[in-house]
Structure 1
């Protein structure tokens, strides 16, 4: 059932992921800079980036519900179409010097992102048990293309139209989204996998969400995405304040995004070998290293190394959390389980992206990173707690099995003795 179909669908989803991430990286690279050119206050500079995450958070449930009724393929095509519209509207916003029109355009790009967030789940659904974690990683590895071309396209599009900086960048976003529509049109998920369900099917959402494993997976996801977004959003502005040029800024973002997605080639293997929790904990350690380097100085080398570590930490923590999450729901529950997870992730992403400019302005780059430490500590402790809980449950089951074995042995021994006595009696 899976052989040819599985690999073909994963390839299409990975290609679509690379294009969607190119769009997202472009907004992350120049969204704050374009906003700063228009905004009256530095605290509003990151509004276009925050609006992208707002669009994602607002559309997460509608996107999931829509795909539960019309299927993944049609839903993904709708999402890419929103990316086309978003690029056009954002370009109009820059042309008319309207920050809120620009923000509305990036919100449409965020709505595109809400659909695209289900690419990795679609990959886990078309893959068999042996390939599932690898399929998720391969789709996420599509972001390597985004790392290589996203910042470059953003930089090339910046001066394309004289007097209207970054209009070209957003028009390129429209073109990339159109290419994504072409690739997604070839997606053909088998009928036995593309199950269209009622959003209310399965257990109530409360029973799903309040499972310990779900809660830890969710917290890992919001930590990975929240810290990454905060660091990635603040970096271009912090570098600009430190008198680094646009070329240096895009290079740092490029290396950061490579750090986000290049490990995806082996993250799946690591999860299959060591388990999701250990890979997630490794991600927490990479984040700690990011903070240590980021607060050490404002030289270009510090930004490069810290942002690469930030990307690797996100990869381990976010992909590990996704793999862990897939263990917590049945097929008919996937729509609400995935939507709640990703909606929460992007609400946190929204808060982090919107607050990045204000935090940077009020407390500075160093303090902004130091306040992340308690967040990381809580994530590490939650992973240790889950591991201890699973160990205790395994130990309890082992003891119960041992008791059953002993009881069965005793019963057999008694029955054997009775049979012997009856035999002698006869």
Structure 2
């Protein structure tokens, strides 16, 4: 079937996209640290990358709907190739500003890559949306091994410029992803509306609990994961005395944990619903913070980051599926663009906050900050679940 072929190719594209993120997260801050005198600035490139992702997220969603998903994804991944080569050159020349600029392009590219999950969801019948999203995200399992592993193996490829080779390898890997995505045959995503049926405006969408709640739960899942993951390698190496290799391994297992559950996440969503799935994800993120507060050994970091990855998987995939069930087909472009701005805007703030909080107050403060946010989002989720049950009961009685 055509949609199964598309999902297989998109899964490969997701594996490449995830590997790119894994490489950047594994060595990005460490490479930046070698270019600056003040460690406070080590997370600036990653933060700029995420800010550019957030700023590009909405436009990327609209471009993919209007220009076509296949062409849009190819264009977005091409930007990553350029960005990675610029970063490699910046490391070689020891130019921090150029390094930051390259990371900005990688972030803009990531905004297009994040649309892979919606491309999968919109290419299958409604009853297969949950499984389509989870199957595509499962492709990221490979990224947990490929990304950090390739980053470490190629770090010293260019003599006298540690990590420059990692970004050259990143550019080559993304070219393979472009080749995979180019063979997909995807719809533009938003059908031409019938006269008088153009769907709700942005203001109406954002007031609908079926739209704004999955946006907020998706934002919380992604922002909290980013908040901890950005700080973790620096905390391990510069605060807790662990080696860069141990930090890379911890991030590697974290990325595996982010995508490995995807094989069953769709089935879980169909069995217990999106609300319970997201709640489990948030509770796992809470447990991750609890583990981190009990110790700073390599084992504590590994277990905490694994729980964080699984929690993100349940929270983010559950929120994505919840959102796709909340809007009408003709509202897809607007709802997805709005969602991406909210989710990745929150992610950008989390990245900025992680560097500041870690440098001023330490690793413990980073994890303490997670707890009240999780509790607040869980209460919001409980409210919407009770609201949905009440509406169903009222509808049943009226019938």
TM category (shorter chain) comes to over 0.9
Quick check: 2:35–2:96 contact (8 Å CA) kept in 1?
yes
1:398 positional shift: 2.3
What's the TM-score, normalizing by structure 2? 0.96
Note the 1:55-66 alignment, pairs <5 A.
55-66=52-63
Query: Which residue of 2 is the match for residue 345 of structure 1?
Result: 343
Query: Which residue of 1 is the match for residue 156 of structure 2?
Result: 159
1:180 positional shift: 1.1
1:211 positional shift: 0.6
1:333 positional shift: 1.3
1:355 positional shift: 2.4
**Stretches of structure 2 lacking an aligned partner (at least 5 in a row):** none
Note the 1:92-131 alignment, pairs <5 A.
92-131=89-128
Note the 1:184-263 alignment, pairs <5 A.
184-189=181-186, 195=191, 201-241=198-238, 242-263=240-261
The 2-side partners of 1:35 and 1:276 are apart by 39
Quick check: 1:144–1:261 contact (8 Å CA) kept in 2?
yes
Residues 310, 12 of structure 1: CA spacing in aligned structure 2 closer, same or farther, 3 A cutoff?
A: same
What's the TM-score, normalizing by structure 1? 0.90
1:100 positional shift: 1.9
- My pick for the range that moved more, 22-31 or 327-336, is 327-336
The 1-side partners of 2:54 and 2:193 are apart by 22
1:108 positional shift: 0.9
Quick check: 2:40–2:359 contact (8 Å CA) kept in 1?
yes
1:289 positional shift: 0.8
The 2-side partners of 1:299 and 1:189 are apart by 46
Query: Which residue of 2 is the match for residue 36 of structure 1?
Result: 33
**Alignment partner of 1:126: what SS?**
coil
The 1-side partners of 2:42 and 2:285 are apart by 25
Query: Which residue of 1 is the match for residue 66 of structure 2?
Result: 69
Does 2:272 match 1:274? yes
The 2-side partners of 1:119 and 1:197 are apart by 23
The 1-side partners of 2:193 and 2:113 are apart by 20
Which whole-Å deviations, capped at 9, do the CAs of 1:129-157 have from their partners, x for residues lacking one? 23210000011111101001111111112
1:196 positional shift: 6.7
Residues 40, 196 of structure 1: CA spacing in aligned structure 2 closer, same or farther, 3 A cutoff?
A: farther
1:184 positional shift: 1.2
Query: Which residue of 2 is the match for residue 422 of structure 1?
Result: none
The 1-side partners of 2:35 and 2:139 are apart by 33
- My pick for the range that moved more, 217-226 or 93-102, is 93-102
* Counterpart pick for 1:313 among 302, 311, 314: 311
Question: Which portions of structure 1, spanning 4 or more consecutive aligned residues, are displaced by more than 2 angstroms?
Answer: 193-198
Query: Which residue of 2 is the match for residue 139 of structure 1?
Result: 136
Quick check: 1:208–1:328 contact (8 Å CA) kept in 2?
no
Query: Which residue of 2 is the match for residue 183 of structure 1?
Result: 180
Which whole-Å deviations, capped at 9, do the CAs of 1:362-415 have from their partners, x for residues lacking one? 1111121011111001110011000111121122222222xxxxxxxxxxxxxx
Query: Which residue of 2 is the match for residue 294 of structure 1?
Result: 292
- RMSD over aligned Cα atoms: 1.6
Quick check: 1:217–1:321 contact (8 Å CA) kept in 2?
yes
The 2-side partners of 1:190 and 1:82 are apart by 22
The 1-side partners of 2:53 and 2:235 are apart by 25
Query: Which residue of 2 is the match for residue 283 of structure 1?
Result: 281
Quick check: 2:190–2:331 contact (8 Å CA) kept in 1?
no
Residues 201, 75 of structure 1: CA spacing in aligned structure 2 closer, same or farther, 3 A cutoff?
A: farther
Aligned residues: 396
Query: Which residue of 2 is the match for residue 361 of structure 1?
Result: 359
Query: Which residue of 1 is the match for residue 328 of structure 2?
Result: 330
**Stretches of structure 1 lacking an aligned partner (at least 5 in a row):** 402-426
**Alignment partner of 2:127: what SS?**
coil
1:163 positional shift: 1.5
The 1-side partners of 2:326 and 2:358 are apart by 38
Which whole-Å deviations, capped at 9, do the CAs of 1:22-41 have from their partners, x for residues lacking one? 11111111111111111232
The 1-side partners of 2:193 and 2:169 are apart by 36
* Counterpart pick for 1:88 among 79, 85, 89: 85
Quick check: 1:71–1:194 contact (8 Å CA) kept in 2?
no
The 2-side partners of 1:40 and 1:331 are apart by 51
